[in-house]
Chain A
Amino acid sequence: MSKNWKKNTGCNRVLIMENIVKEKILLIGVGGAGVKFASYAKKLDSRNVIDYLIIDTDRQSLEDSCIDNKLPLGFDNTEGYGCGGDSRKGINAFGYMVRKKIIENLKDSTSFIVVGGLGGGTTAGLSILAGIIKNKLKRPGIFLCTTPFSFEGAVADKNATKVANDLQASADVLITISNNLMSASIPPETGNLESFEKVNIEIARAALGLSEILRCEKLITNNFAHFKRVFNKKKNDSAIAIGHINKSDNKETRANSIIDKMLDSPLLGGRKQIFNADIILISLTADKNFPISEMKFILDSVSELFKGKNIELIVGVNNDDLYDDEVQLTVITTRLVKDQVKQNSTILPRYAKNKAKQPELPLVSISRGKFTKTEPFTVDGVDMDIPTVVRKHIIVDKGER
């Protein structure tokens, strides 16, 4: 628990905290995206109940954050400008000496939530961090990572897949959320800055939601063991939806309102997406005075959504007096990916460090495909049966082959 929190709150509340908080949770933001997620979480964490640490190879990113606890990585190699998407630089940044510093920063915490955006350079070293948490400290850790937007291309997706594979092997719990889900539920006219901010806020809320599950007094159990059972060694595509209501909401309609807010969460990817899941973790956190009737209504309504569908529901209810008439509904939908990808390590052998690879020159196809034997349709002498993108020399990402 941070010292600032003790300074700014009354004695009674400290007493409550002493009774309820058994976990000392550290939220770690890794890489550019991770630092942003953690910074937003810190801003949203009005109760100030968890500690924060940010780790990055980019000096500017660390300086811009509101989090005091900062751990710069690999400035020798990156000169403080970040990895530029180079996964080898990211892995090298988590070198032996740095690992000692990480352990020093992590040793006082009892559990960890790590946030980051896969596909970048710094996050390539996440599996090393996962190894430290699991093997050196022997403490529970949840890795909440976003996967790249489709427009970031196949290379970013390939990097993200490799890191995700490594993390599956080394982390207890890995939850991956696709950034592409954002575009499904944010209105198209929303400005790009606002859209990204919404995503950052949602991931931050999701991280805080996870911390509630680890931290709070359990009325109906869903705990780290449930997470481990669902996510351990299982490749997944997940989505997180948060519904939040507070004092100002109408008491008569707030139970319905929290479900609507949850279903409209930007990272859920649209209401229909929720039914694509194999497993759904539902967690409701409220103070001890929250009426049982409303609690039952919310949980019944959520369960009703999945009636008749082959989806495993894991429901948990947490009690936290710090919520003070606030309620949070956290829903994690998980679709398990059936074909498990081989656990290839991204850590390249030393000799590969300077090995240059001759890039392939793309062959331009002028095929007319199925229209090869048909009479051509021409406009101004141009054969319109040839694919438009070929004629206009538009580059298309052909994916990972």
Chain B
Amino acid sequence: MFKSKKIITGIELGTSKISAIVAELCESGEIKVLQYATESSDGAIIKGEVTDVEKATEVLKKVLDQINEATIFPDDTIFLAITGGHIKSQEGIGTVHIHSEDRKIREDDVVKATKDSMHLQANESSEIINSISSYFRLDDKHTLRTPEGHEAYKLSAHSHIIYGNNLRISSFSSILERVGLDHDKVHTTFSGLASMFGVLTEQEKEEATLIIDLGAGTTEYILIHYNGILNSEVLPLGVEHVINDISVVLDINEKKVINAILKENCLDVNNSMTGMVEITTSGGKKTIKIPSSSFVKIANHRLEEIFKLIKKDFDDATGVNLPKNIVITGGGAKISGITDILKSVFPCYNIKVGKPIEITGITTDLIEPEYAVLCGLLKYAALELNIDKEVKSNKNIFSKCQKIGKKILDAIEF
């Protein structure tokens, strides 16, 4: 636990909104939100990637202005969530041969194997965002999480590495630089990972769980399967595609589609008395009546397609049975009937909408799925800053994320 109070800041540059949150890490480990602010991205970010640096900077400044008045935070406690279609993941393996006479695995062996496993096998333009230790194998036979003290000839460490294109990542950093933050000190975090920390309970982390963050521009998903994180990906498809589909197919202005979804709740067939949605044309002279079932039909096909892509990805890549639990979060989780669509693609699984948990302080309107990343950043930060301390006392070699992986999945031997 923390010996003194610490202020941490989370920043999310999302497709629909740019947000910042400041919280206090109490000695008890409690995360107490002091302030948060959010503004519309106003088209500066599309599909999770920065398309207009100037505008994004302007919006972030506006957000930080609201925050700064109350709190001054050091750069090294800022955590930035990043996403985008360029983000990929791979499994890293590091191997160490045990030369000691008793063949007992010692801390140094674990450290070396883990460090080797976190080496990225990708081209020069790739950059590691997060790496998380998953599990260990002894002589390619036994799988376990804490190998120290066991006997073996060979120790293999398996890690999950999340990486992205360095130019795309630097576009996020450049925005921070423009608002006067030292981007080298800022910790970058994959949005999907932050969501996972934000909404999953300890039990869900222990069990096999698929977490889907259906955002405005992207959908991030992570599969945890006993041994650690097995897969994490980003689809550059999100709620904006649903809105765009409706706008293109029904030939309605995008703003009017958003208005119909938010104010008339047209994606909920049951909400409308007549089953018709009335849209006034931009001139205001003509009113178009469209069955709400048309809105639902277009949205359902898009959402179903997104979920099927996720399912196919896991069927192809992991070759494992899908987990028991599916948790959907992000702004898209608030779409009426989303769990039913999810259920149609992933039948026989426990499906729930994930909201931020274990956050205290000023949380009005914050405990909603769309703030999963923002709240998750705080929880990720709390773990990382806590582990930093341990790392210092541990020869400063461990990947901070290895400990996080250990925190997520307590030792279960196989």
Interface residues of A (CB under 8 A from B): 147-151, 153-154, 157, 178-181, 183-184, 237, 239, 269-270, 273, 276, 335, 339, 365, 367-371, 374-375, 377, 379, 384-385, 387-390, 392, 394, 396-401
How many residues belonging to B are interface residues under a CB distance threshold of 8 Å?
A: 40
Q: Which residues of A contact B248 (CB under 8 A)?
A: 365, 367-369, 387, 390
Q: Does B240 contact A (CB under 8 A)?
A: yes
The answer to whether A388 touches B245 (Cβ under 8 A) is yes
Q: Does B66 contact A (CB under 8 A)?
A: no
Cα A269 to Cα B268 with chains together (Å): 12
Cα A385 to Cα B237 with chains together (Å): 8
Q: Which residues of A contact B271 (CB under 8 A)?
A: 184
Q: Does B173 contact A (CB under 8 A)?
A: no
The answer to whether A149 touches B294 (Cβ under 8 A) is no
What 6 A-B pairs come out closest when comparing CB atoms? A150-B275, A399-B290, A180-B275, A184-B270, A387-B245, A150-B293
Which residues B325-371 have CB closer than 8 A to chain A? none
Q: Does B69 contact A (CB under 8 A)?
A: no
The answer to whether B301 touches A392 (Cβ under 8 A) is yes
Cα A392 to Cα B275 with chains together (Å): 25
Which residues B17-33 have CB closer than 8 A to chain A? none
A176 nearest CB neighbor, chain B only:
B274
Q: Which residues of B contact A384 (CB under 8 A)?
A: 237, 241, 305
Residue from the set A153, A184, A335, A388 with the largest chain B CB neighbour count within 10 Å: A388
The answer to whether A389 touches B270 (Cβ under 8 A) is no
Which one of A180, A365, A368, A385 lies within 8 Å of B272 (CB-CB)?
Answer: A180
Q: Does B145 contact A (CB under 8 A)?
A: no
Which residues B241-258 have CB closer than 8 A to chain A? 241, 244-245, 247-251, 254
Which one of B250, B274, B288 lies within 8 Å of A147 (CB-CB)?
Answer: B274
Known contacts A157-B289, A387-B302, A394-B301; 11 further A-B pairs (Cβ under 8 A): A150-B276, A153-B291, A178-B272, A178-B273, A180-B275, A369-B244, A379-B309, A384-B305, A390-B245, A390-B248, A398-B250
Q: Does B41 contact A (CB under 8 A)?
A: no
Q: Which residues of A contact B298 (CB under 8 A)?
A: 387-389, 396
The answer to whether B291 touches A150 (Cβ under 8 A) is yes
Distance of B226 from chain A, by nearest CB (Å): 29
Cα A276 to Cα B270 with chains together (Å): 14
Cα A371 to Cα B291 with chains together (Å): 26
The answer to whether B294 touches A370 (Cβ under 8 A) is no
Cα A237 to Cα B85 with chains together (Å): 46
Distance of B47 from chain A, by nearest CB (Å): 6
The answer to whether A374 touches B291 (Cβ under 8 A) is no
A-B contact pairs, 21 of them (CB 8 A): A151-B291, A157-B276, A157-B291, A178-B274, A180-B274, A237-B273, A269-B270, A367-B248, A369-B245, A371-B241, A371-B244, A375-B85, A377-B85, A377-B235, A377-B237, A379-B309, A389-B297, A396-B249, A396-B250, A397-B294, A398-B290
Q: Does B396 contact A (CB under 8 A)?
A: no
**Inter-chain CB contacts under 8 Å: number:** 130
The answer to whether B247 touches A369 (Cβ under 8 A) is yes
Cα A148 to Cα B275 with chains together (Å): 9
Which one of B235, B244, B292 lies within 8 Å of A387 (CB-CB)?
Answer: B244
Known: A150-B292, A385-B241, A387-B244. A399 touches B250 (CB 8 A): yes
Which residues B220-247 have CB closer than 8 A to chain A? 235-237, 240-241, 244-245, 247
Cα A365 to Cα B271 with chains together (Å): 29
Known: A154-B289, A178-B275, A180-B275. A396 touches B244 (CB 8 A): no
Cα A400 to Cα B291 with chains together (Å): 9
Q: Does B46 contact A (CB under 8 A)?
A: yes
Cα A11 to Cα B288 with chains together (Å): 60
Known: A183-B269, A389-B249. A401 touches B288 (CB 8 A): yes
Q: Does B287 contact A (CB under 8 A)?
A: yes
The answer to whether A180 touches B273 (Cβ under 8 A) is yes
Cα A273 to Cα B293 with chains together (Å): 19
Distance of A183 from chain B, by nearest CB (Å): 6
Q: Which residues of A contact B269 (CB under 8 A)?
A: 150, 180, 183
Known: A150-B292, A150-B293, A276-B273. A370 touches B250 (CB 8 A): no
The answer to whether A365 touches B274 (Cβ under 8 A) is no
B251 nearest CB neighbor, chain A only:
A398
Q: Which residues of B contact A370 (CB under 8 A)?
A: 46, 240, 244, 247, 254
Cα A399 to Cα B281 with chains together (Å): 13
Distance of A254 from chain B, by nearest CB (Å): 29
Q: Which residues of B contact A184 (CB under 8 A)?
A: 270-271
Q: Which residues of A contact B85 (CB under 8 A)?
A: 375, 377
Q: Which residues of A contact B249 (CB under 8 A)?
A: 365, 387, 389-390, 396, 398
The answer to whether A374 touches B274 (Cβ under 8 A) is no
Q: Which residues of B contact A237 (CB under 8 A)?
A: 273-274
Q: Which residues of A contact B235 (CB under 8 A)?
A: 377
Residue from the set B51, B270, B273 with the largest chain A CB neighbour count within 10 Å: B273
What mask results when residues 37 to 51 of chain B are scored 1 for a CB within 8 Å of chain A, else 0? 000000000110001
Known: A367-B248, A370-B244, A396-B297. A154 touches B273 (CB 8 A): no
A401 nearest CB neighbor, chain B only:
B288
Q: Which residues of A contact B46 (CB under 8 A)?
A: 370-371, 374
Which one of A183, A270, A400 lies within 8 Å of B288 (CB-CB)?
Answer: A400
Q: Which residues of B contact A151 (CB under 8 A)?
A: 291, 293
The answer to whether A154 touches B291 (Cβ under 8 A) is yes
Cα A180 to Cα B260 with chains together (Å): 18
The answer to whether A388 touches B291 (Cβ under 8 A) is no
Cα A389 to Cα B304 with chains together (Å): 11
Distance of B217 from chain A, by nearest CB (Å): 10
Cα A250 to Cα B294 with chains together (Å): 46
Q: Which residues of A contact B47 (CB under 8 A)?
A: 371, 374, 377
